Structure 1
């Protein structure tokens, strides 16, 4: 039987050349971002992250981050610098400078003489309004993390920084560990409501299937509960990763058989179980409310790894 010829299409050929070029560390290269295609002439050596969420992913792939925006320091989520607990020590070891707390400051960014500025497209740490201004300082990479797993985020950042090999390695190592854990754990009754619960009466954010948290849970075999269709108007602006709930809709929206509390301690789980408006929900009645640690508010390699450890502790028989 005569062998069929292997036909290489133009699209496939371009893809192969692109992969070969990137594998060899070839520059310039084009990066797809949330605001179109960005052309980078060479591998960046001085990266400024305006997003405290994305800084952890940059550090995880050993990208040369010189400075970063920060969140409120010394709280549940962050260290005295305003850097997230899960990677604050790494940032300190590498001399990452804190630029500002909260709202981005273009002047402070310019003083660092960056050759790449990383901006998140959504979230409270987004500097999207300053993109035009920041583009006059250095190339700006806009990353949308509200519809991606942390693995997808580091893949983009790896390509943009020339650290794609490191990005691929940490994803491979994590995925191997995640697959092993999936075989070990016994899931609680499904579906689950995964959320950031605010005991102080503010709105509660429910993670959707598009969120990094939701993607990780589904990879482990969890099924995500979804609030009634009529309630989904509570979604936070244009974000795809959360649905906001609160007030009289809270008990209806938190309709999972088990609750997984992100950015939470055991004290937070206890506070939820004491909420009279949730007393008749299935999860509270059966005491299936699980705190997943304070470092899970935003997922990167560091926090996702810690989350696997927590889930193993909670759902693996001794």
Structure 2
């Protein structure tokens, strides 16, 4: 018997044994996994991903929060990251692939991902390229618009094998909220959340069931729900009623929060003649929800909580005797 045949008699069974052991180890860890997509389909993920490509800059924030192995991501339409986690992305040297709305399939191939994440909607959705992405790697579809960042983190944790990281982030944030509640005095009456844009264009108002309102409710606020008849968009919206400027005059909450509002926008709201009779304007209880508050992820949610504590701290927290 030749040396080659002799070696093959021992090496081949050993290789098969190692492959079988690896397969058993992966199965013991829960791989492969079947992921239920937001569009009703199912994606089989054969092994724990090591190179994740995010086609949605909004989803990228949650992937960063659970420390998923991101190899690259689409950016915002301005070819940049969201400010609330920009420093995290830069520290991880996360590669920018394409601006939202300008999918580059060559870049997707170049990243060599073993998992691709696509959102069902939003300006950063790349759902139109699903078929092409699935030729590159297993591709999952998530809906960030209809759920909290916590629920999204749980689902992404399952897809990436980072369930413990997701659970740790959620528990950490829950503790932050509990501590914040103990530090603040919630003013009487209801509160609302407005994306204030002025006359001539829609002024979205957060619904009580939306993620922004639920975050404030977790801090103790009672949220005003806008009239769904004010909706100016054809497609139903879970988080916002896209109301006209004139509809703002019908709001009744004693406290108003403005999305993505620098102080000058808060001042403009307070001095708008059309809004002079709003209870929140009369009581001068109008606040910015934060510059980065439009998308609620782990990072922006922490910023919102921080600002609420700053604006509604109990006297003792302000150093009062």
TM-score, structure 2 normalization = 0.84
Partner Cα distance (1:120, 1:196) in 2: 23
Whether 1:228 and 2:233 are equivalent positions in the alignment is: no
Whether 1:46 and 2:48 are equivalent positions in the alignment is: no
Q: Structure 1 residues 260 and 24 mapped into 2: Cα distance closer, same or farther (>3 Å)?
A: farther
Instruction: Specify the SS of the correspondent of 1:142.
Output: strand
Residue of structure 1 aligned with 2:99, choices 80, 98, 101: 101
Partner Cα distance (2:218, 2:157) in 1: 22
Q: Structure 1 residues 65 and 236 mapped into 2: Cα distance closer, same or farther (>3 Å)?
A: farther
**Pairing of 1:63-78 with structure 2 (within 5 A):** 63-73=68-78
**Pairing of 1:1-318 with structure 2 (within 5 A):** 25-36=29-40, 37-73=42-78, 81-107=79-105, 108-199=107-198, 201-231=200-230, 233-235=231-233, 237-252=235-250, 254-317=251-314, 318=318
Q: Structure 1 residues 215 and 90 mapped into 2: Cα distance closer, same or farther (>3 Å)?
A: same
Q: Structure 1 residues 146 and 210 mapped into 2: Cα distance closer, same or farther (>3 Å)?
A: farther
Query: Does the aligned pair in 1 maintain the 2:119–2:144 contact within 8 Å?
Result: yes
RMSD over aligned CA atoms reads 2.1
1:52-86 CA distances to partner (integer Å, 9 max, x unpaired)? 1110100111111121111243xxxxxxx510111
Partner Cα distance (2:285, 2:26) in 1: 47
Q: Structure 1 residues 92 and 236 mapped into 2: Cα distance closer, same or farther (>3 Å)?
A: farther
Q: Structure 1 residues 235 and 315 mapped into 2: Cα distance closer, same or farther (>3 Å)?
A: farther
Partner of 1:10: none
Query: Does the aligned pair in 2 maintain the 1:226–1:255 contact within 8 Å?
Result: no
1:156-180 CA distances to partner (integer Å, 9 max, x unpaired)? 1111101111110010011012112
Partner Cα distance (2:293, 2:228) in 1: 27
Query: Does the aligned pair in 1 maintain the 2:26–2:47 contact within 8 Å?
Result: no
Partner Cα distance (1:251, 1:141) in 2: 42
Partner Cα distance (1:27, 1:278) in 2: 57
Partner of 2:12: none
Query: Does the aligned pair in 2 maintain the 1:265–1:292 contact within 8 Å?
Result: no
Structure 1 alignment gaps of length 5 or more: 1-20, 74-80
Bigger radius of gyration among the two: 2
Partner Cα distance (1:67, 1:311) in 2: 33
Structure 2 alignment gaps of length 5 or more: 1-24
Partner Cα distance (1:98, 1:57) in 2: 16
Partner Cα distance (2:267, 2:210) in 1: 25
Partner of 1:4: none
Instruction: Specify the SS of the correspondent of 2:111.
Output: coil
User: Which runs of 4 or more aligned residues in structure 1 lie more than 3 Å from their structure 2 counterparts after TM superposition?
Assistant: 21-25
Give the number of aligned pairs: 289
Instruction: Specify the SS of the correspondent of 1:122.
Output: coil
Tell me whether 261-270 or 221-230 shows the greater mean CA deviation: 221-230
